[in-house]
Amino acid sequence: MHDHEESHQTSLQRPCAYRLVNPAMRYAWGRTEGIEPYIAIETEGNIPVGEVWMGAHPKAPSSVVLEQQTEPLDALIAREPAYWLGEQTALQWRELPFLFKVLAAGAPLSLQVHPGLEAAQRGFARENAATIPLLDPRRTFKDPHHKPELAVALTPFRALAGFRSPEEISALFGAPLAERLELHAGMSRDDLPALVRTLLNWPRASFSRIEALLLARAEELISSSNEAYAGAGRLALELHHHYPGDPGQFAAFFLEQLFLQPGEGLFVPAGVMHAYLEGSILEIMACSDNVVRGGLTAKFVDVDLLCAVLDPAASPIRVVPQREEQDGCIIWKWNTPAREFQLEARELLSEGTHRIVLEGPSVLLCTEGAVSLQCPSLPSSMPLPARASVFVPGAAPWIELNGRGRVWIAHPAPAPAPASPTITLWIDADSLPRDLRPLLVRRATSRKPVHGTELAVRFVGTRPHADLPADAMIVVPQGEGSTDRYIIMHAQQGDLCMTRDLPLAEQLVSQGLLVLNDRGDVFDETTVAERRSIRDAMAELRALGIASPSPRGNMRTPADTKRFADALDRLLLKAARGKQQATMAARKSSRPSGS
């Protein structure tokens, strides 16, 4: 046994895996039979089970099975955070940073938005100052945390999440509703919170009349040859069936309906309006129960607060799991921008020992087959059958799994490794000129460092492109600006981006990115401001009929291609040097004094 493993074994002095008894949360929208195949529950009571929580949220913590009794996990963590969380997680978070759930929807959940971190902290402090009890139905903020979340489908799953494009919203509402709501032809994404506020705050006394227009429009749409429009019509009737008289029915027309197949993931960041509709999922989130509701529920609704925390530029992100094979085991990982959590699955295909080096405190859930678990301080293996869960404290260095089955592992996201600096080149794939594709594909597939710095090329688009490498392609949901929003959310200071879009270039430059267009023009704060002034002036002249319209098409020459390639080489070198300087500075600042 290695020295570091011996020291861990000495420090544990107790079993490093504990069985969990998890609270079943009962909701009218729940579907007990959608929960039971995946986790053990008690089925007594008339209200269906909608969720089973695995974690330490004070509202409903899991209980840990000790030798003589069970004890709530949050209480155990409060007494001995270094053991239960591990020193690093205890120092960073001071509590279990994630909440892991099995969720099954038999009817649509509430129309909701999760607040960002600052909004959650302000709201929690405000409601505390108002002395609203935590269990009061009028209480919105149960804790001071944000709630980014990831849903991974166990069955075919439907959700509403993120706005449709303004053009599609106008088309779905149709003329009578558009006239009643005074929707103007040039509606932009920034106008959507006002539309939501108008609809969800519609006076109850006159709602029946606008509801009749909604139902009439839905009946028209279901016969449309456009499947997206027909689906919106069917969904509006479905929401009316479950929630008659509720303005949330209109969400069928202004939110995207998304469909997940088993194994597909959906990441919902703060500010995204959403409502889960039907199916079973595993859900992992930051340890929060903060939900701002706007409709489709009998619970407390606060439309004005929902519109205040709503971000019309935010959008959900489809998450394709990374897959690798290792000694008879398939490993799946769903990566998200959230630092509080990561979800992975281990599919054991053959008998044999599979060791896992842990990333902090972990919840393990077996949903198929049966495995056994072994770790340094367990004198014998612990069985982990299907529908059972265990908690592994952060003080444990590793565990081993034996058997055949599927085990899901929830844990904090690993800290980014600062060892080798990496720069990412972000590219809008949907508007990428054909003459630049071979050059950028070579960059993506060569894996050749730039001045000692790793380069990752990421093509982002709303559809796959056969001539671009699949492992470098990120497909985002259809919708106006969805590509831009993904790049803005994921790009890091010092990265590069190639774009023709001036507003995107302006945003990225303000975030510390290096930006160039497809002709090799490099953007900075000065050049962006100059181009914006020229663009605005030309638009005004065209509106007055003084200047001719912008030429259509994009006539490119070999000289344009070479100019871009030269500019890209210069900018990559600049980015690599900048990343190396930043990495060296970070390493220097992280060294203990006197080292």
CB-CB contact of 443 with 455 (8 Å): yes
The rounded distance, in Å, linking the Cα atoms of 105 and 376 is: 39
Strands (E) located in 287-376: 292-295, 317-319, 322-325, 329-334, 342-348, 353-357, 362-374
Kindly tell me the sign of the dihedral angle through the C-alpha atoms of 115, 120, 124, 130: negative
Active site members: 293
b/e for 344-375, b at 16 or more Cβ within 10 A? bbbbbeeeeebebebbbbbbbbbbbbebbbbb
Kindly tell me the sign of the dihedral angle through the C-alpha atoms of 141, 142, 148, 151: negative
CB-CB contact of 272 with 113 (8 Å): yes
Closest by CA position to 575, among listed 454, 461, 414: 454
Tokens found for residue 201: 């705050």
Tokens found for residue 172: 């779905």
| CB within 8 Å of 593: residues ≥ 6 apart | none
| 514-516 and 496-498 beta bridge pairing | parallel
- The position carrying tokens 């579907």 is 31
CB-CB contact of 204 with 210 (8 Å): no
> How many separate helices (H) and strands (E) can be counted in the chain?
17, 28
The kind and range of the H/E element at 539 are helix 525-543
Encode 414-479 in three state secondary structure: CCCCCCCCEEEEEEEHHHCCHHHHHHHHHHHHHCCCECCEEEEEEEEECCCCCCCCHHHEEECCCC
Tell me how far apart the 2 most distant CA atoms of the chain are, in Å. Answer: 86
CB-CB contact of 587 with 579 (8 Å): no
Burial of 251 (0-12, 13-18, 19+ CB in 10 A): buried
